[in-house]
Each structure stands twice: as C-alpha cells, then as structure tokens.
Amino acid sequence: MIKQNKGKWLLSLLALCTLVLAACSFFSSEKAEQPESTVEEQQQTNHTQQEQTEQAKPTPSEEEKTPEQTPEIVVTPSLGEGTEFLPETERWPTVHVPQTPSAPAEKEEQTQTDSSKPITYINDPSLSSQWSMLDETATAAQRYYTDNFSKTRIITKDGYLYNKAAEEKIDVDYLVAEGILPSSYRNQGIEILLLNCDDMRRYEDFQIKSSETGLAVFAAMKHPTENMYLLTTGKSAGGALSSAQYAALLSSYYQNHGAVGRLYPGAEEYGRILSFISMYESQYETYAVRSIVCDNKYAVATLSPAANTADVREYVLRRSGSIWEVAVPGLESDPRAVITVNKALPDFNLNLLPDYCINDYRNSLNNSNLELINQLLAEQKVTISTEVKYMCTTSTYGYVVLNNEVKYLCTAVDGGWNIVMVPTPDEARRKMLSISKTAPTFIILDQ
C-alpha cells in the first residue's frame, strides 16, 4: 500500500515538472519572436513625446507678449558646428553693433523702438510744430550764412549769428525783414546761433552728422512746458539741452574776458609775452614792437625784427595761468583776419584786433624809405642817414625815430612827404586815426 502510494506521488511530481518546463519554453519562444524597435521608431516616439510636452505648456496672453522691436546686429563668438551653447548667463560677452541705414535721409531722426523707454524730444509728436519751425529757421539762416560769408564778415558773437561789418545780430526779425522767413515766425522765441559742431558732440542726447564740422548755424527755442531748450541744424536731427546746459554752452562763447587795454614797455606782462613769442619762433631776436593789446585771456602782439621793420608779424596769444601760448600766428598775411580768429577762437573778443589789415599794406612796406630819408636830409632834420634809429613806411604814411629819440610822423602829399614832429607814439596814433579809422598804425614804434 505504501509502495503504491509512493508510486502515485512520483508520477504526480514528474507530471508537474514536465508542465513547468513546457511553460518556460513557451514564454521564451514568444519573447524571441518579438522584434526590437528601429532607430526611426525611437525618434518618432521621442518626437511625439516632445509635441505632447509643448502642447502641455501654457500659451501667454496678448498682454504678456513682448512688443515688436527693431532687430540689432549681435556679434557673438562662434562655438563651432555641433557644439552646444552655454547657458545664457555663461556665454561670452555680446557685442552690439548699431545698424545704420544704407541711404540716410538728409535730416537724421532718432527711432524709438523700445516702449519701455520714454519718448525722446526729437520724435515727440506734441513738438512737431516746434521742430518744423526750428528746421526751417536753421536751414534759411545757414543758407544766408553760406551766401554772405565770403561777401562780408559774418561771425559768431557770444554764440549768436552776427554781421561784424554792420555790427548787427542776424536774428529772426532780420531774416523776416529780408524776406527769408515768413512773418509768422516773429515772436516765437527762436534764437539763431553760430556754434562749433564739435562742441555739440559732447552731449549724449544730441544727434549731429559727422559731416558737419566747424561753425554751423543752429536754431534754438525754449520747450513749451519743460525747463529745456530744443536745438537743431538744417541737416542734423539735433536734440534737447537743459536750461543749465544751454546757459553753460552760450557762456563758453562769451567774448568779454575783462577790460581791453594796451600794454606798454616796462610792464611785466609786456616782457613775458615777448619772451613766449621768442620761444615760439625759436629765433630770440630783438623786436621792434608796434603794439600789445590784451584782456584777461587773450593778447594781440604786432612786431617785427628790429633789423627788418618791413617784416611785420601779428600773433594772437592765449593765457593759461602764468603762461602765454601762440594760438593764431600769421595774421599779417591774412586778408580776413577777423574771420580766421573768430573761427579758431569763438570766444575771442574781436575788439582786441585793430581796424587795419596788415595784409593790405604788405606790398608797400618800406618801399618809400629812400624817398623819405632824402627829404629828411633836404629839410636838415638829419645830417646823415645813420642818425635814423627806426623807420617804417607805407605808400601813404611813415614813422621815423632818430637816435636822439626825436620822432616824426610823415604823411604822403603831392609826391612828397609832410613831416611833423610828435612827442609820443600815442600822439602819432591819434593823428593817424583822425585821418582814417583804418590807418596803418602798426608802423609806429611802441616806445
């Protein structure tokens, strides 16, 4: 009985093992028959998952969208093909290169592209009428300046457009009277200035073309509501300056630097100016000085070498502390010395310059010396020519100083000379200026 039961148990155990082995074989075969997914199927699966992720992201509302902006050129280091970009905070510094229009308009304008920034004065629509009047005024005044510059002496005086020959400011009323501007421009508070373009480039918010250099006409007017001034040229966009900046700008052109006076031999500053001229020329000559006139900033010196009184030279010097430097040389050969100095030194007081122009007399200097010496001998004012210590003549005037310091002023009359003794150089100048305001008083020795 026990054996019979034991046999049945072994048969059951054998059947169970056979069943387990069959099941394992079945599942192993089914797994082997299933093919692996291809690369394309994996990419498609990833793409599908990415689209599902993107669709899950929230869409910003219209109010949250960034306003459209003008693109700017951005230059960044090249990382190479296939290289991943670094996070935004770890990239190399970005260099921004501003775009420039391929064909700029005649008058440059500022474009406001960032709504987070305030509207500039140039493109403020509420100022369109002011800018229109300023543009027309600047254009008309620049045309007047260009047309008349070579005909007369148009200068900047204290920053304003000025006719030096007529001693008259060129303002809106003047241009209206000339028919250059409409009468509606009167009483609009527009000022016409003549300024150095380079001075305006120091203001960050002022736009001026690189082609505009030197003196140019500007039109300016007070902002209707703010403590600002609007300025422009006929070609550039211009900009706005605060009232303090505007006042400081005009003060830099102010030509009054103290009283204008004449220096005389023996004065300390007289000798210092001659020393600086001598260093400038690097000749260290003995000078026959005609005049030195100065204020607290500038000086005008007229002189010649003592050995050649026809070699008259004229310098403008500028003072910096205790040092004088030659600022404008060679005025003796300049037919428009006033214009030359004004362009080079807009704050120079032109009252320092004489009314005569040395260049007008250069061809006649000392041509009459022999004639005058012969007449001095004939009138027995000298017994020998070597008694003459100093002589300088033009075709109409002559000045003579003898070794004994006797002085003669000579004026040409009827092919000869009228020779008159004068006690001092100042008296000789007074007599010459009583004859003509532009008399060549530079022939008079200043001692």
Task: Please report the pLDDT score of residue 128 as a whole number.
Answer: 93
Contacts for 99-102: CB closer than 8 Å, 24+ residues apart: 99/70, 99/71, 99/72, 99/73
In whole angstroms, give the CA distance from residue 278 to residue 260: 23
- The answer to whether residues 185 and 137 touch, using CB atoms and an 8 Å cutoff, is yes
pLDDT tens-digit series, residues 364-379: 999 999 999 999 999 9
Q: How far apart are CA 305 and CA 312, in angstroms?
A: 8
pTM for the predicted model, two decimal places:
0.73
pLDDT at 80: 37
> Would you call 313 helix, strand, or coil by DSSP?
strand
Which residue ranges make up each domain of the chain?
A: 125-251, 261-354, 361-443
Contact 419, 408 (CB under 8 A): yes
Of the ranges 33-37, 292-296, 435-439, which one carries the lowest mean pLDDT score?
A: 33-37
Query: 238: left (phi > 0), else alpha (psi -120 to 50), else beta?
Result: left
C-alpha–C-alpha distance, residues 102 and 80, integer Å: 31
- Ranking 69-78, 125-134, 391-400 by mean pLDDT, the lowest is 69-78
User: How would residue 90 be classed by pLDDT, with cut points 50, 70 and 90?
Assistant: very low
Q: Is 281 helix (H, G, I), strand (E, B) or coil?
A: helix
**How far is 211 from 207, CA to CA, in rounded Å?**
12
Is 261-354 CATH 1.10.10?
no
> Please, which pLDDT band fits residue 256 given cuts at 50, 70 and 90?
very high
pLDDT of residue 23: 52
For residue 235, give the amino acid letter: K
Q: What is the mean predicted confidence (pLDDT) over 410-439?
A: 96
In this prediction, residue 28 carries a pLDDT of 47
